[in-house]
Amino acid sequence: MADSPDISRPASEKSGTEPTKPDTAFNPDWRFVVAFCSLSIITLMAALDATSISVALPIMAQLLRGTALEAFWSGTSFLLTSTVFQPVIGSFSSIFGRKPMIYTSLVLFGIGAIVAAVAKNFAVILVGRSIQGIGGGGIIIMTEIVATDMVPLRERGKWFSFISSMWALGTVIGPLLGGGFAQNASWTWIFWINLPFIAIGGLMITLFLTLNYKTSSFVKKLARVDWIGAVVFIGATTGFLIPITWGGVMYPWSHWRTLVPLILCAVALIAFVAYEEWLTRIGREPIIRTSVFKNRTSAVTFFTTVIHGIVLWSILYYLPLYYEAVKEFSPILAGVALFPQTFTVAPASVVAGVLIAVTGKYRNITWFGWATTTVGMGLLILLKASTSTPGWIFLNLVSGVGTGVLFSAMAIAVQAASSNEDMAHSVTMFAFFRAAGQTFGVAISGTIFQNQMKKELLKHPLLAENASNWSQDAAGLVQIIKQMPAGLAKDQLKDSYVGALKYVWIVMTVLAFVAFVVSLGTEALPLDRELVTEQGFQYKKKKGDEETKEVKD
């Protein structure tokens, strides 16, 4: 077993700086609560934007006369750039300050939204969505890092659960907004709706989110940046994730255009890790601190976090398609049908966070989350074309509880395993692996669906001649099914769709079980320890105080 992290050693002992010592118990005032609400607002905005476009893409493709491939990349580009830039933005926040990076992320998010909203073709939308992804990734990681700066570890479960709830709520409302705007108004409102969120969230952050931060010259800050590491990481990660997203869509997995960048960029990422370790040894500041991986609980949690992203995004992407294709629901109704799954995520996350804060224990809750997720994914295997409404409502509930519990439990586990100095880097890598898992989830599920859909179609003589074309695009097949006249061919096509999705759920069940087994290696580390941070929340001066007090438990 790797050595346990030095979780009690404050950052000041390691870095030579001296953050303000705590002199009061954690007792947040109204300004603290409002500041935390501002973080929740921008998290909700990012979640809405990440999910709202998915159900609107078929309508957008029709209106803009775009291809299925252009629509695919418009949906994928946000997730890709969000994933790639999170570690870089998280690292920059330790150098340039938390609030400047929040502002930068909000500006990029707003620019991307405007570019996409005024676009007349998918090429411009792709540019806008990519810029939005950078900003969205920054918003996600900065809210989580700032939360660790503001709240002591023992109390963090409760407060983190609210951020997780906002993300869960956004994933629920996003498809409804996207479908509603696309059907009843204009798809451009999917992007314009972000601007009020940016204005309100940005104003609240400016007024209420006051953080301690020792400024230095901008030149000195630039000199601290690991520019080589940042460029290599962005390039290698992008080059690795792109062929994963297009494997089986643009090119077969065995095609050189898929394999060559995968292999080359995997080698580049290995070299990047070695370079970051060397920077650490010589006392330079790396983009990613390799020390965050050097204990058992962190390694276990990062691995299972990837699987959590894979499972969750497979559900969010393919369950709506089941309702649209098999039940022939509209995009809005498909989003409503997802409520039994998505509306259990937020409450489960809050309950788990409160339990962790009250008991000081997270390990059993993590195990419960993975066990419940495994059972829930297994229940989805039972979905059929003829499944009744009460039936599919029940089948959705269990997986929602499991994935919701894991949002809070795994976040606290990785923080409990981190040293004070590495906390921001640990949180950054946790978010990165979760986002990477989401990218993997769409790719893995897409490959499974395509292969199985083709096999299912070849079983039916009426459908066999279209097997190759129809199996390539799960979303595009929805419109084909809806436009077909009632009859045997349509019934067989629906049964084939369900049969292909069944294998997606089988693989997700196996992955969830693997994660459960791996999670047994999670250690029960203490949560009661001093909050030490150089960018903590700055309370308003009271009469008679000589200086502002920074709260640490």
Q: Calculate helix-pair angle for 296-325, 339-359, nearest 10 degrees.
A: 160
* SS percent in the chain: helix, strand, coil, step 5: 75, 0, 25
Distances (CA, A) of 302 to 236, 294, 305, 369, 435: 20, 11, 5, 15, 11
Q: Please report which residue ranges of 247-295 form alpha helices under DSSP H.
A: 256-281
The pLDDT value given to residue 529: 83
- How far are the Cα atoms of 60, 88, 264, 428, 473 from residue 147, in angstroms, in the given order? 37, 18, 37, 12, 40
pLDDT at 71: 72
- pLDDT computed for residue 280 by the predictor: 84
What's this model's pTM, rounded to 2 decimal places?
0.84
The answer to whether the beta carbons of residues 242 and 236 sit under 8 Å apart is no
Please give the pLDDT value at position 542.
Answer: 52
| pLDDT for res 69 | 67
Instruction: Point out the residues of the chain with pLDDT beneath 70.
Output: 1-25, 68-69, 248-249, 473, 540-553
Token pair 């759920």 is at which residue?
505
Cβ distance 19 to 12 under 8 Å?
yes
Secondary structure in 3-state letters for 372-402: HHHHHHHHHCCCCCCCCHHHHHHHHHHHHHH
Q: What is the pLDDT of residues 483-534, one digit of tens each?
A: 888 888 888 888 888 888 999 999 999 999 999 999 999 999 988 888 877 7
DSSP E strands: which ranges in 77-209? none
Residues 6+ apart with CB under 8 A from 263: none
Give the number of other Cβ atoms within 10 Å of residue 85's Cβ.
27
CATH architecture of 23-212+220-225+285-519: Up-down Bundle (1.20)
pLDDT at residue 22 in the model? 40
Residue 79's H or E segment, with its range, is helix 68-96
Taking the C-alpha atoms of residue 89 and residue 184, their distance in angstroms, rounded to an integer, is: 37
Structural domain boundaries in the chain? 23-212+220-225+285-519, 226-284
